[in-house]
Amino acid sequence: MASLQKDGNPQLARLRDLCAGDGERLDLFEAALALSASRAEEAVDLVPYRQHVAAMAAALADLVHRRGANPEALAEVIARSYAYRGDSETYDDLQNADIVRVVERRKGLPVALSILYLHLARGQGWDAEGLAFPGHFLIRVGIDGARHVVDPFHDGVVRDAADLRSLLRQVLGPQAELVPAHFDTVPDRDVLLRLENNVRLRLVKREDWTGAASSLDRMLAIAPDRPELLFEAGQINARLDKKRAAIAAFERFLAVEAGEGDPAVRHRASALLQDLRRGLN
């Protein structure tokens, strides 16, 4: 699907291309670079960032060659040698969800740091995926048949069951227990959506509706047919009096949701669409 807004942004078009297909496995780092560049007001030279991450990958390969394959090698390179860490001091800073700024500042959100860990782990031929763990983004790395849960935000530490239970209870309360669903893997497309959703939520909180509309346009480049994104894009563009963009979003929402979803939400979208069309006359 084309962008709901005619932005002429080549990086946004590249992001769409990188996210085509089923979205289970993407070139996450390259897509995150395109996402970052699509936000920038001026062109960004991405070559230095690719070179930086390639150097980290080479350092990891050398370490694994010398000491053997283990998940701690990721932390040794990323957290220790290159000093990446979670930004707990200014957690809500939008720079923490921008992979270019994360590389420059060596700190970021859990999901942003996880993209670096996933990229390097996969470069070693290891199985590496994001997890649906509540409230805190973690990854799972598989090496020689053994699975390890890694916490990129906290210096790449390998978490055991007791650690994970403690993390869970911080989010869900003191009685919460680990269940298999907490270790379900998430598609790469959803990893990117989670990264950009951090931006969208903060812009909405600031009532920066123009910025939120642009963020949704980026999310729809990643996942063109997500009904909840289409509905919100319709609402926010209507708020901004961008009637044609709002109409396009609601039309696509109704096409995607045809015969499915909440009937009340479909009815609401239809009513809003009719009002917007009348406003064009």
Is residue 163 assigned to a domain? no
217 in Cβ contact with 4 (< 8 Å) = yes
Is residue 98 assigned to a domain? yes
136 in Cβ contact with 163 (< 8 Å) = no
Which 3 state secondary structure label does DSSP give 24?
Answer: coil
Is residue 233 assigned to a domain? yes
pTM of the model: 0.93
Domain edge (last residue) among 65, 100, 125: 125
Q: How far apart (Å, rounded) are the C-alpha atoms in residues 111 and 128?
A: 14
User: pLDDT grade, residue 2 (50/70/90)?
Assistant: very low
Number of compact structural domains in the chain: 2
Q: Strand 127-131 relative to strand 107-108: parallel, antiparallel, unpaired?
A: unpaired
Domain edge (last residue) among 109, 125, 141: 125
Is residue 28 assigned to a domain? yes
Is residue 105 assigned to a domain? yes
Is residue 235 assigned to a domain? yes
Is residue 208 assigned to a domain? no
Which residues share a beta bridge with 158?
Answer: 150
Domain span at residue 241 reads 225-281
Residue 4: predicted pLDDT: 54
Domain edge (last residue) among 69, 101, 125: 125
Residue 41: predicted pLDDT: 86
Q: Closest Cα partner for 27 from 50, 59, 8?
A: 50
Q: What share of the chain is helix, strand, coil (3-state, %, to 5)?
A: 60, 10, 30
Q: What is the pLDDT of residues 126-154, one digit of tens each?
A: 999 999 999 999 999 999 999 999 999 99
Is residue 29 assigned to a domain? yes
